[in-house]
Amino acid sequence: MARKIKHLIAGNWKMNGLKKDIKELRSLITKLDKAKTKPVCDILICPPATLIRSFYEEAKSSNIKIGGQDCHLQDFGAHTGDISAHMIKDSGGRYCIIGHSERRSDHEETSHKVRKKAAKAQEAGLCAIICVGETARERKMGKTNQIIGGQLKGSLPESALAKNTIIAYEPVWAIGTGLTPTSEQVAASHAYLRTKLIALMGSEGEKVKILYGGSVKPSNAAELMTIENVNGALVGGASLKAQDFYGIIKAL
């Protein structure tokens, strides 16, 4: 019998959002306040770094938590343009996405680097959302488990515990494309990651949330979220509009 883990619906705004877009957060808070039944999941929004503080101020009396999308692997210093995990924490963030496939490809982030960043995030008191996922080519070659297993092993810091670590399985080919794997494919990858987590972390690995990410929307959320070992979603495009994001939260 699988352990009951509370779902997390996390929004990743990527490089989207200006000051005016805080209205979407306000609208989400209103929808949650007005709802007859309280959401059964935890809710997180990771806006761009420029909006972390204002989102935190807006959401602090609600159930919505705020997080960052990346952090540097050092605490401070001569790293122009970067932000540290401590800065995210200081701005009100409680989580940080690490090693998203767009960071792995746009910024050539290796699992080794991801692991160091995740350790820094945890050290700063953030929960690290570590992303793994195969490309379409890797899946076609039958290498999905090898790729995601390797990324998980290489990216998981020694400090990883269920309370400071979340894994997001995001097939690269499903991100922003409208394509989603079949339920069987999602179930197989999540079961594999669960086995790997237990092998790496012992019984602690049974409690780590494994999110699914890649073209999650209100219309497919209910099916995806009931798959065994799927403990929530990492949502890109559909998290930008309160209406869509709320639709996903409500689907649970």
Q: By the criterion CB under 6 A, which residues form the site for ligand PGA? A: 12, 170, 175-176, 213-216, 234-238
In the complex, what is the shortest distance from the CB of residue 10 to ligand PGA, in angstroms, rounded to a whole number? 8
Respond yes or no: is residue 100 known to be catalytic: yes
Respond yes or no: is residue 102 known to be catalytic: no
Q: How buried is 95 (Cβ within 10 angstroms: 0-12 exposed, 13-18 middle, 19+ buried)?
A: buried
Nearer to ligand PGA, 93 or 236 (CB): 236
Which of these, 161, 133, 160, 159, lies nearest to 148 by C-alpha position?
133
Exactly one of 58, 102, 134, 170 is catalytic; name it. 170
In the complex, what is the shortest distance from the CB of residue 219 to ligand PGA, in angstroms, rounded to a whole number? 13
Contact assessment for residue 175 and residue 217, using Cβ atoms and an 8 Å cutoff: no
Exactly one of 58, 100, 109, 134 is catalytic; name it. 100
Distance of alpha carbon 44 from alpha carbon 251, whole angstroms = 16
Place of tokens 């894994």: 167
Phi, psi of 31 (to 5 degrees): -60, -40
* Neighbour count for residue 150 (Cβ, 10 Å): 14
Which of these, 248, 127, 139, lies nearest to 189 by C-alpha position?
139
The residue of the chain with the least Cβ separation from ligand PGA equals 236
Phi, psi of 35 (to 5 degrees): -60, 140
Nearer to ligand PGA, 124 or 238 (CB): 238
In the complex, what is the shortest distance from the CB of residue 218 to ligand PGA, in angstroms, rounded to a whole number? 12
The identity of residue 21, as a single letter, is: D
In the complex, what is the shortest distance from the CB of residue 234 to ligand PGA, in angstroms, rounded to a whole number? 4
In the complex, what is the shortest distance from the CB of residue 196 to ligand PGA, in angstroms, rounded to a whole number? 21
Helices within 70-156 (DSSP H only):
85-90, 101-106, 111-123, 136-140, 144-155
The identity of residue 226, as a single letter, is: T
Which residues are tagged catalytic? 100, 170
